[in-house]
């Protein structure tokens, strides 16, 4: 201990991302003195995603969200799947109908802009932000976490509770023993993306959007990942399009494909290239998505510390959910810190109410339900290869089979499946996929 | 009906990653590298070199003799190299506060 006065807060939040700023503002709103430590130049500068944010989670933290003028891009008014074959595409997207909620459920966003604003809102409610600072270790008293060590000179900061929102590379979570191992190749997807700038009117015309207040989110399967377990995506921003692809590190390794070549191949696809032609590359980036979800979730609390967001593997890969889980988990962690201060008890037992809070939300239920998804894709590595291509062939034949006996047409369609996969195995795939989604 | 199963890998386009990286903004730490090869000898006997193959910014390059050199300045801190290194031979930490990649858009 130095002779200097110790820098002490009620709560330390590590990382000013979606989870961090949510946790911090909830604690500050309840009268606690909160320090939020961010390693980037500014909050958001290390964050890269598809992607869309979900209004239900934003409103959960700021009911007056719209008055605060969040820097969101287009609302997602059309959403769905694009199934790519080598030279074709089947689109299954939905618009209108149940997509027309007020507010719209999802908004396209750019994280460097959004997270900076998100942290600024927390600052407005009293959170003390410490940027350009890396947390490198914890200060412990026995087993108890009582603060953090940063990479600044005399960089110790004390608080009886530390909320770890460090992101996917959860080295601090591992350091505490909450996660027993580093990320695994089969449950970590590497996503690479290009942000491509185009005039809003061009985006409207090419994607069939009636105005700048309409947006598309497409989850792209099949040839986009060369049939590997993974997904492509395309999101329309206000005057930019985000196009990217994520594949598990294991699949990437087995196939021996460089991530940026896979992305460029997607951008060159005959169905995709015309949509982005003439656009200007504004930014490239890469980020790992912790797709293990339930199976790779660390222990969520220990004496004096909680974990939320990507660091806690809170991602539902199939539904592109993660940002909302991070925010909801951040809120639950903030509430838990408030309760711990009221009880003056920061033991693991006291902080275990964090898990109970999460169990009351969709987070734990969903992650448990989808716990076998990584395993499913691992054991059926050609799932994304066979079915999107078959769908393209089947519909392509159906809609071009004019003047042919239809009996022959159906035989041909069936054969385009059985050439790829025996019928019994295809049926097995569907049942297994169904079970994976239902969560048996 | 003829089917192509997995697309052949030779249909992958050639990409000049350095051109693409020009879009990225970095605050380069002139005094400290946050990535290091722990034992260069280990890399010489590593045939697969996933760090070289799969780093999304191509920061890892094979040198004559089979050692690996890291252009840590272009790292986007994703973690791929650390996760894939079969020999746990990469010392991986975050750049010092404020340094490293700074996404403008995200």
What is residue A320's predicted lDDT score, i.e. its pLDDT? 86
Q: Would you call A87 an interface residue with chain B, using a CB distance cutoff of 8 Å?
A: no
pLDDT level of residue A296 (50, 70, 90 thresholds)? very high
- The verdict on a CB contact (< 8 Å) between B6 and A227 is yes
Spell out which residues of chain B touch residue A260, defining contact as CB-CB under 8 Å. 15, 17, 20, 56-58
Chain B residues within an 8 Å CB radius of A195: 105
| Predicted confidence (pLDDT) per residue in A169-183, tens digit | 999 999 999 999 999
- Are A334 and A36 in contact by the 8 Å Cβ rule? The answer is no
- Give the tens place of pLDDT for each residue, A261-279: 999 999 999 999 999 999 9
DSSP category for residue A225: G
Distance from the B56 Cα atom to the nearest Cα atom in chain A, whole angstroms: 6
Cβ distance of A151 and B97 shorter than 8 Å:
yes
A46 in contact with B, Cβ within 8 Å:
yes
CB-based contact A115:A70 (threshold 8 Å)? no
Q: Which of A190, A245, A281 is best to mutate for the B interface (most B CBs within 10 A)?
A: A190
Question: Quick check: bond before A103 cis, omega within 30?
Answer: yes
Residues with Cβ within 8 Å of B61's Cβ and at least 6 positions away in sequence, in order, are B52, B68, B69, B71
Q: Write out pLDDT tens, residues A318-343.
A: 888 999 999 999 999 999 999 999 99
Q: Beta strand A240-248 with A188-197: parallel, antiparallel or unpaired?
A: antiparallel
Q: What percent of chain A has pLDDT over 90?
A: 92
Inter-chain touch B54–A190, beta carbons under 8 Å: yes
How confident is the prediction for chain A on average, in pLDDT?
A: 96
Can you read off the two tokens belonging to residue A35?
């320090």
Each residue of B17-72: pLDDT tens digit?
999 999 999 999 999 999 999 999 999 999 999 999 999 999 999 999 999 999 99
Give the Å distances, CA to CA, from A53 to A49, A155, A426. 10, 34, 35
Nearest to A385 among B6, B97, B98 (CB): B6
- State the smallest CA–CA distance between residue A219 and chain B in angstroms: 19
pLDDT digits (tens, 9 = 90+) for A219-244: 999 999 998 989 999 999 999 999 99
Q: What percent of chain A has pLDDT over 70?
A: 99
**In whole angstroms, what is the distance from residue A193 CA to residue A285 CA?**
6
Tell me the pLDDT tens digit for each residue of A339-349.
Answer: 999 999 999 99
Return the structure tokens found at A372.
Answer: 């076998």
Q: What is the mean pLDDT of residues A53-75?
A: 98
| pLDDT tens-digit map of A153-211 | 999 999 999 999 999 999 999 999 999 999 999 999 999 999 999 999 999 999 999 99
The B residues from 47 to 106 touching A (CB cutoff 8 Å) are 48, 50, 53-54, 56-58, 76-80, 82-84, 93-98, 100-106
**Is the CB of A44 less than 8 angstroms away from the CB of B103?**
yes
Question: Which residues 240-259 of A are in CB contact (within 8 Å) with B?
Answer: 240, 249, 252-253, 255-259
Owner of token pair 């048996």: A440
How many contacts (CB atoms, under 8 Å) link A and B? 177
User: Does A227 touch chain B if contact means CB atoms closer than 8 Å?
Assistant: yes
B103/A416 Cβ within 8 A? no
Residue B2 has pLDDT above 50, yes or no: no
Report whether A240 contacts B105 (CB < 8 A): yes
Give the per-residue pLDDT at A381.
Answer: 84
Q: Is the pLDDT of residue A404 over 50?
A: yes
- The pTM assigned to this predicted structure is 0.95
pLDDT-derived band at A401, boundaries 50, 70, 90: confident
* b/e sequence A175-211, b meaning 16+ C-beta within 10 Å: ebebbeeebbbbbbbbbbbbbbbbebebbbebbebee
What ranges in A344-422 are assigned the alpha helix state H?
A: 348-351, 353-359, 362-369, 373-379, 383-398, 406-418
The answer to whether A255 and A381 have CB atoms below 8 angstroms apart is: no
First to last CA, chain A: 53
Q: Closest Cα of chain B to A97: distance in Å?
A: 31
What pLDDT does residue B10 have?
Answer: 58
Task: Return the ∠ at Cα A61 (arms to A107 and A333), rounded to 5°.
Answer: 115
Per-residue pLDDT, A3: 56
Rounded Cα distance between A216 and A241, Å, is 10
Read off the DSSP letter of residue B12: P
The dihedral region occupied by A35, where left means phi > 0, alpha psi between -120 and 50, and beta the remainder, is beta
């Amino acid at each position: 201990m130095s002779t200097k006065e110790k820098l002490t807060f009620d709560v330390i939040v590590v990382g000013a991302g979606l989870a961090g700023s949510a946790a911090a503002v909830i604690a500050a709103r309840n009268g606690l003195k909160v320090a939020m430590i961010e390693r980037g130049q500014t909050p958001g500068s290390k964050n890269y995603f598809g992607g869309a944010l979900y209004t239900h989670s934003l409103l959960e933290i700021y009911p007056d969200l719209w008055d605060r003028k969040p820097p969101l891009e287009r609302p997602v008014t059309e959403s769905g799947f694009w199934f790519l074959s080598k030279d074709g595409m089947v689109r299954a997207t939905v618009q209108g109908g149940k997509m027309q909620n007020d507010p719209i459920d999802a908004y396209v966003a750019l994280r460097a802009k959004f997270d900076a604003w998100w942290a600024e809102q927390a600052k407005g409610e009293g959170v003390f932000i410490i940027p350009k600072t890396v947390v490198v270790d914890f200060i412990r008293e026995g087993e108890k976490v009582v603060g953090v060590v940063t990479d600044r000179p005399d960089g110790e900061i004390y608080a009886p509770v530390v909320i770890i929102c460090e992101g996917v590379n959860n080295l601090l979570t591992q350091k505490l023993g909450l996660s027993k191992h580093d990320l695994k190749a089969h449950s970590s997807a590497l996503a690479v993306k290009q942000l491509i700038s185009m005039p809003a009117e061009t985006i409207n015309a090419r994607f069939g959007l009636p105005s700048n207040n309409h947006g598309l989110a497409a989850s792209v399967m099949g040839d986009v990942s060369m049939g590997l377990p993974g997904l492509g995506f395309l999101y329309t921003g206000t005057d930019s399009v985000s196009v990217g692809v994520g594949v598990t590190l294991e699949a990437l390794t087995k196939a021996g494909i460089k991530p940026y070549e896979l992305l460029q191949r997607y951008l060159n696809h005959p169905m995709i290239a015309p949509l982005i032609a003439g656009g200007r590359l504004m930014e490239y980036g890469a980020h790992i998505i912790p797709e293990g979800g339930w199976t790779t979730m660390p222990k969520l609390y220990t004496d004096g510390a909680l974990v939320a967001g990507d660091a806690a593997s809170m991602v539902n890969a199939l539904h592109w959910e993660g940002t909302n889980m991070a925010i909801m988990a951040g809120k639950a962690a903030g509430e838990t810190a408030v309760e711990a201060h009221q009880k003056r008890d920061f033991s693991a037992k006291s902080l275990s109410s964090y898990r109970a809070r999460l169990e009351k939300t969709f987070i734990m239920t969903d992650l448990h339900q989808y716990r076998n998804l990584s395993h499913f894709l691992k054991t059926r590595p050609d799932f994304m290869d066979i079915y999107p291509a078959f769908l393209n062939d089947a519909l392509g034949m159906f809609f071009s089979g004019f003047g042919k006996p239809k009996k022959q047409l159906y035989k041909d369609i069936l054969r385009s499946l059985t050439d790829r996969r025996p019928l019994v195995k295809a049926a097995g795939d569907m049942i297994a996929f169904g079970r994976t989604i239902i969560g048996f | 009906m003829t089917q192509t199963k997995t697309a052949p890998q030779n249909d992958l386009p050639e990409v000049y990653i350095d051109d693409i990286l020009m879009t990225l903004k970095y605050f380069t730490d002139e005094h400290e590298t946050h990535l290091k090869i722990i034992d260069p000898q280990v890399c010489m006997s590593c045939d697969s070199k996933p760090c070289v193959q799969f780093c999304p910014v191509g920061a890892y390059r094979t040198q004559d003799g089979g050692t690996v050199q890291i252009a840590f300045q272009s790292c986007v801190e994703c973690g791929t190299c650390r996760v894939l290194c079969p020999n746990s031979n990469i010392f991986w930490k975050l750049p010092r506060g404020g340094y490293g990649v700074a996404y403008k858009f995200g």
